Amino acid sequence: MTSEVVRDAYERIRGLVHRTPVMTSATLDRESGNRVFLKCENMQRGGAFKFRGACNAILQLTPDEQKRGVVTHSSGNHAQALALAASLQRVKCRVVMPTNAPEVKRQATRGYGAVMIPCEPTLEARLATAERVIAETGAVMIPPYDDDRIIAGAGTAALELLEEAGDLDVILTPVGGGGLLSGTALAAQTATHPPRVIGCEPAGADDAYRSFKSGVRVEHSTPHTIADGLRTTLGERNFEIIRNHVADIVLVSEEEIIEAMRFVWERVKIVIEPSAAVAVAPVLFHRLDMSRQRIGVILSGGNVDLSEFFALLRAKIK
Amino acid sequence: MTSEVVRDAYERIRGLVHRTPVMTSATLDRESGNRVFLKCENMQRGGAFKFRGACNAILQLTPDEQKRGVVTHSSGNHAQALALAASLQRVKCRVVMPTNAPEVKRQATRGYGAVMIPCEPTLEARLATAERVIAETGAVMIPPYDDDRIIAGAGTAALELLEEAGDLDVILTPVGGGGLLSGTALAAQTATHPPRVIGCEPAGADDAYRSFKSGVRVEHSTPHTIADGLRTTLGERNFEIIRNHVADIVLVSEEEIIEAMRFVWERVKIVIEPSAAVAVAPVLFHRLDMSRQRIGVILSGGNVDLSEFFALLRAKIK
């Protein structure tokens, strides 16, 4: 894949996606010692950058494929994004979701009009159920990250960031399956002075880090992290791009993720999910050995289950 | 007071205040049936619109007054705002704060460099302590809302909103002491087509509503509301302006405040405090009997105690 696919994707999807704001914070700049530009994909439609890739995939379906509809298996932001993108194009969307997925995610995905297909909470069951749906309906599989259309769509957030912030020295993104990191790495190549692209990963789910450092993709891992969007295993296509175009991958602790998330909520006054905070933590906690640099951070999403917090608040008015 | 004082205040403070973003939300527009513009004073320095009035007051001190410093009694956003504005101008700031004020507010105010003076948690003790500080130090009292400088400063948020959003049919603000509402009402008069200005108040702290409806300022009330910024009693100067320039005051329930707050956090992805949600609730819950109108809402602040929420989150990584 070349960086041209990201430009092509952007031309395709720009009428459907939000051009999300780029925010700055004097406090963050001071704490970090750098000039930091936050690309607010938490404010993207569906609450995450995932909508970009989903649109890019949906808009490339043939008329016949549009009739058959799409399917995916995910309990996270990709499911919501695909459901929303499909509904906007009047394409039927089926989502295979494990029975133990949080009710809030089930509701959100159903809210965008997707047909929910429950399955046992194992990867085998998810794959088998998706295969059965494809066999029965002819639906087109749209995977969450290991897919050229998804990667190119994810990269469009960095294109907008570069347009708005101008030259950057570095762009940081979280890395889970690698869709956002690989897309961003391709997008960065389009700049006159390409920024270095660095992936940020929880130490408790460090398969991308180990793959990057060893040069061999780690196939399995047992993730332990609060960043629920980053528990997936690095994809094959993603790894190829990351290996060639990413400058480094840094690890952050669970403590740092929560502190970075709290910093952004309290100081920047925006709601980000733990996965997004993973790319803020290295800036805030001086993990990059950089100063006076212009750093872009892609805030990947803002879908947090707030029911406990609002239950606490509600208890106060009784 | 005339609307000119708001323009004058803006010329005075514009180099110090953030020009906060104006955000829109397709979901909010759809739910409300109107076009809604959210003026994000939650992203103002110090986390609330209060910084505008504090700057306007501090910048009008005489050289002699600057030497003597300022004092206020408040446990809320005004104390933080005054402390910050004073520190930027190297003016000493003393804050009389009741001993039962939340630790998070005490820390924030001290963090901006204010000298904290504890007092018993009664209005009498607050006033007496402030009087003693003034007698001992010659400090200048900067009250939180019943003050021409504070009112004019508060109105500057609406000036920016009108500049950015263009003509509006209505502007909504929360009302507690009435600083923001009265300042906004003055600011609205500067528009070629002045919008109607409507105050929004918790039903459990309805002294402004009762004052407005009866034409006589209600002196005392026992507020019961989660909107901690709106538990104050309507000021005299504020009431005079509100009586003459405000179109209406609407009441909202505690349930509606919490639901509106949750809506903004979940859908707009920004952190607002309950007091700010008070002005969103009438739009979201159709309390205005309006449709297809262009409505501005001043989101007054975003200072929420998040310690319980992050304690829950932290418990998950143990």
Q: B51-141 has which fold?
A: Rossmann fold (3.40.50)
Question: What pLDDT band is residue A266 in, cutting at 50, 70 and 90?
Answer: very high
Which long-range contacts link A19-27 to residues 24+ away (Cβ below 8 Å)?
A: A19/A160, A20/A44, A20/A157, A20/A160, A21/B21, A21/B23, A22/A160, A22/A161, A22/A164, A22/A165, A23/A268, A23/A270, A23/B21, A25/A267, A25/A268, A27/A267
List, for residues A120-161, the tens digit of each pLDDT value. 988 889 899 999 999 999 999 999 999 999 999 999 999 999
- Structure confidence at residue B104 (pLDDT): 77
- Structure confidence at residue B163 (pLDDT): 97
pLDDT mean over A286-312: 94
Identify all chain B residues contacting A23, using CB atoms and an 8 Å cutoff: 21
- Structure confidence at residue A28 (pLDDT): 96
End-to-end Cα spacing for chain B:
57
User: Among residues of chain A, what percentage have pLDDT more than 70?
Assistant: 100
* C-alpha span between A234 and A221 (Å, rounded): 10
pLDDT mean over B266-292: 96
Residue A255 pLDDT > 90: yes
Answer whether B271 sits within 8 Å of A255, measured CB to CB: no
Kind plus residue range of the DSSP H or E element containing B40: strand B35-40
**Domains B4-47+148-299 and B51-141 agree in fold:** yes
Answer whether B265 sits within 8 Å of A306, measured CB to CB: yes
Question: What pLDDT band is residue A295 in, cutting at 50, 70 and 90?
Answer: very high
List, for residues B75-126, the tens digit of each pLDDT value. 789 999 999 999 999 999 999 998 888 787 888 899 999 999 999 988 889 8
User: Which position among B39, B50, B211, B300 bears the catalytic label?
Assistant: B50
Question: What pLDDT band is residue A13 in, cutting at 50, 70 and 90?
Answer: very high
- Structure confidence at residue B5 (pLDDT): 97
User: Among residues of chain B, what percentage have pLDDT more than 70?
Assistant: 100
pLDDT mean over B178-185: 98
Identify the three-state secondary structure at position B296: strand
A43 lies within 8 A of chain B by CB = yes
Kind plus residue range of the DSSP H or E element containing A124: helix A123-137
Identify all chain A residues contacting B270, using CB atoms and an 8 Å cutoff: 269-271
Question: What pLDDT band is residue B297 in, cutting at 50, 70 and 90?
Answer: very high
- Structure confidence at residue A261 (pLDDT): 98
CA A88 to the chain's CA centroid: 20
B310 lies within 8 A of chain A by CB = yes
Instruction: Look at domain B4-47+148-299 and name its CATH class.
Output: alpha beta
pLDDT mean over B178-206: 97
pLDDT mean over A15-31: 96
Residue B221 pLDDT > 80: no
Answer whether B226 sits within 8 Å of A317, measured CB to CB: yes
Question: What pLDDT band is residue B14 in, cutting at 50, 70 and 90?
Answer: very high
- Structure confidence at residue A45 (pLDDT): 96
- The pTM of the full predicted model, rounded to 2 decimals, is 0.96
Answer whether A226 sits within 8 Å of B317, measured CB to CB: yes
User: In chain B, where are the structural domains located?
Assistant: 4-47+148-299, 51-141
- Structure confidence at residue B61 (pLDDT): 98
With tokens 């050289």, the residue in question is B63
* C-alpha span between A215 and A11 (Å, rounded): 34
**Cα dist from B210 to A311, B222, B249, B252, whole Å:** 31, 13, 9, 14
Answer whether B262 sits within 8 Å of A306, measured CB to CB: yes
Q: What is the mean pLDDT of chain B?
A: 95
DSSP state of B230: G
pLDDT mean over B37-54: 97
List, for residues B229-258, the tens digit of each pLDDT value. 999 899 999 999 999 999 999 999 999 999
Catalytic residue numbers of A?
Answer: 50, 75
For residue B75, indicate whether it is catalytic. Answer: yes
* C-alpha span between A50 and A41 (Å, rounded): 9
- Structure confidence at residue B99 (pLDDT): 87
- Structure confidence at residue B44 (pLDDT): 97
Q: What is the mean pLDDT of chain A?
A: 95
Q: How far is A193 from chain B (nearest CA, A)?
A: 30
B305 lies within 8 A of chain A by CB = no
- Structure confidence at residue A188 (pLDDT): 98
Identify the three-state secondary structure at position A97: strand
Token pair for B71: 């004092």
Taking only residues 253 to 282 of chain A, the set having a beta carbon closer than 8 angstroms to any beta carbon of chain B reads: 254-255, 258, 261-262, 265-266, 268-272, 274
* C-alpha span between A172 and B314 (Å, rounded): 24
Instruction: Look at domain A4-48+152-299 and name its CATH class.
Output: alpha beta
List, for residues A159-195, the tens digit of each pLDDT value. 999 999 999 999 999 999 999 999 999 999 999 999 9
Residue B220 pLDDT > 80: no
Question: What pLDDT band is residue B35 in, cutting at 50, 70 and 90?
Answer: very high
Question: What pLDDT band is residue A26 in, cutting at 50, 70 and 90?
Answer: very high
* C-alpha span between A20 and A126 (Å, rounded): 33
